């Protein structure tokens, strides 16, 4: 039995921030920062996702607007249990996310990516795709343990 899902639920295993000195020196923008996160998939069996999150300079700081929503792409490989996601968010959201992530917790952080198109997943968590697939990401939610 199969069902449709438009969300990818993940548990964060490792996260790093990289700073591109050449981009920072050129314009001093926060776009020189990149958050790289390795995750295990929770609602899809036997898989991992490498997530790259960057701040978007053109996004307004008002977090309630549609222009501020996450944008990106999810790339699903057919020949290996790996997905890659690239997401841009407002600079404010990026700063909040990295700030909360820097606080130590014994429990893993969770990420949920919302997709533009639904995926077919079995009750056992098997993903059904026939070929390499790229799907637009329309949202991201981070659940960060505080205690």
Number of structural domains the chain divides into = 1
16-58 pLDDT per residue, tens: 999 887 655 555 555 689 999 999 999 998 899 999 999 987 6
Residue 129, sorted as left (phi over 0), alpha (psi -120 to 50) or beta, turns out to be: beta
Domain range for 21 is 2-60+68-143
Q: Which residues are registered as beta bridge partners of 139?
A: 114
State phi, psi for 77 to the nearest 5 degrees.
Answer: -90, 140
Q: What is the mean pLDDT of residues 142-147?
A: 88
Res 61: pLDDT: 55
Q: Which helix (H) or strand (E) holds 24?
A: helix 21-27
Res 103: pLDDT: 83
Contact (Cβ atoms closer than 8 angstroms) between residue 94 and residue 53: yes
pTM: 0.86
58-116 pLDDT per residue, tens: 655 555 555 457 899 999 998 888 999 999 999 999 999 999 988 878 889 999 999 99
Res 27: pLDDT: 56
CA distances from 92 to 56, 61, 68 (A): 9, 6, 9
Res 85: pLDDT: 98
């Amino acid at each position: 039995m199969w069902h449709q899902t438009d969300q990818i639920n993940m548990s964060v295993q490792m996260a790093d921030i990289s700073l591109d000195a050449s981009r920072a020196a050129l314009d001093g923008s926060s776009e020189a920062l990149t958050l790289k996160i390795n995750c295990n998939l929770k609602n899809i069996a036997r898989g991992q996702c490498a997530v790259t999150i960057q701040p978007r300079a053109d996004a307004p700081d008002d977090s309630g607007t549609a222009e501020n929503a996450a944008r990106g792409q999810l790339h699903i490989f057919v020949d290996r249990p790996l997905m890659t996601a690239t997401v841009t968010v407002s600079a404010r959201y990026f700063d909040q996310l990295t700030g909360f992530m820097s606080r130590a917790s014994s429990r893993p952080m969770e990420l949920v990516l919302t997709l533009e198109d639904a995926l077919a997943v079995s009750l056992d968590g098997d993903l059904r795709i026939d070929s390499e697939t790229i799907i637009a990401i329309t949202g991201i939610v981070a659940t960060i343990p505080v205690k």
